[in-house]
Amino acid sequence: MYICSVESVPNTIVLFEGQKLNLKIAKGLSLNFTKDYDTMLTSSSIGDEVPNKVGTSNLNLNLFGKITLKEVNVNVIPKTTVIPLGNAIGMKLYTKGVLVVGMSQINTDSNEKIKPYENCGIEEGDTIIAINGSSIENTEQLIEEVNKSNGESITIKYKRNNETLETSITPVKSEEEYKIGLWVRDAAAGVGTATFYEPSTNMFITLGHGITDIDTGKIVEISNGELITANIISIVKGEKGKPGEIKGTIDSGYTIGNIQNNTIFGVYGNVTNTQYLNLNKSNEVEVANRDEIKEGEAEIICQLDNNGTKIYKIEIEKIYLNNSENNKSMLIKITDNELIEKTGGIIQGMSGSPIIQNGKFIGAVTNVLVNDPTQGYAVFGDILIKQIRSVD
């Protein structure tokens, strides 16, 4: 249920097909869809609307039916079923262009110390996508283009927060090569937990949060990637003020699928080899509406050794029904003594562990509270489905 004062109305509402909008509004306010009103709603009173058509629409919150106070995007997605996973998996991500992760001065052949990048405007976290009009997809291409300059100024096109910018740098010679003083990276890799497989779309999603660059802390913008099998090496138990960790390796992994996107809600793509996910059709469950989720007992599925997944008990302590903006939709607590004994609670690498309540998939583990590793956050299942369906 969304309790509706102007300030509390979310910018985006995600609903499954047939789910009640259920906005309780204050006196003097009214609701109106700006398009497809007749087809988007069944006949019912304000506060009990049922969008009955998959798609998107805009909902206006009006004062006295005349003054628009807020516009809300309503995304209606089809009901679906998923197979919860919990497997430890590996990921390799390849960036769009090369990510700038640092800067350093260059010692030239004449023993000078120069910063070629100085005043060029490029910052850590920016992505270089072209030099002198030639696309840059990896570090080798960047090195080649810089060396082709022979010390002449080069034009660099780069991106920052979805904005494309342009600048120039004059490379300097050092040890038989021309350099511009920028440290770059074109790939990222890691181990995490697979959340679910959706049979109707042949898609997967993992982590419940995005993969960020270790140096810049920003979400890595990718061109493509691979989901691969992983082996667990050890478990580092979490303590207050010191998060634990699942340590794993992907060196000899087999490809499970292709990664299509890396978002704040997780990494997703399509499955190309289901045998490595150990799918069991009997485990297929419905994705719950967020208003079906209740405070109280639930379960998570995760893998802590190479013998497979196990089910552990948790408690859902608080539910943030209005949340569609980040991956902190529920406050959860680990209550399973076996899991606490093994890990201390939620540890790095458990993000993405699917949560089941009353036989339905309701979300995934996303974060741990550093001061209490038995507590953390989880993201709603409907948000994850929205990522896969790309309903904007």
Nearest to 42 by CA among 32, 34, 53: 53
From 209, 324, 329, 353, active-site residue = 209
Backbone dihedral region of 162: left (phi > 0), alpha (psi from -120 to 50 degrees) or beta?
A: left
CA trace torsion 191, 195, 199, 204 (10° rounding): -40
Residue 277 dihedral angles phi and psi, to the nearest 5°:
-95, -5
Cα separation, 84 vs 14, whole angstroms: 21
Cα separation, 48 vs 42, whole angstroms: 10
Cα separation, 135 vs 145, whole angstroms: 10
Neighbours of 147 (CB within 10 A): 15
Cα separation, 270 vs 260, whole angstroms: 8
Does 305 qualify as catalytic in the annotation?
A: no
Name, in order, each residue with C-beta under 8 angstroms of 110's C-beta and a sequence gap of 6 or more. Answer: none
Does 48 qualify as catalytic in the annotation?
A: no
- Exposed, middle or buried: residue 195 (CB in 10 Å: 0-12, 13-18, 19+)? buried
Q: What does DSSP assign to residue 210?
A: -
Strands 172-174 and 177-179: antiparallel
From 126, 213, 336, 382, active-site residue = 336
Does 126 qualify as catalytic in the annotation?
A: no
CA distances from 303 to 22, 209, 223, 339, 351 (A): 38, 18, 29, 11, 11
- Give yes or no for a contact between 17 and 289, defined as CB atoms under 8 angstroms apart: no
Amino acid at 358: N
Residue 84 dihedral angles phi and psi, to the nearest 5°:
-60, 145
Q: What does DSSP assign to residue 277?
A: G
Query: Which of helix, strand or coil describes residue 96?
Result: strand
From 126, 351, 353, 382, active-site residue = 351
Q: Which residues carry out catalysis?
A: 209, 336, 351
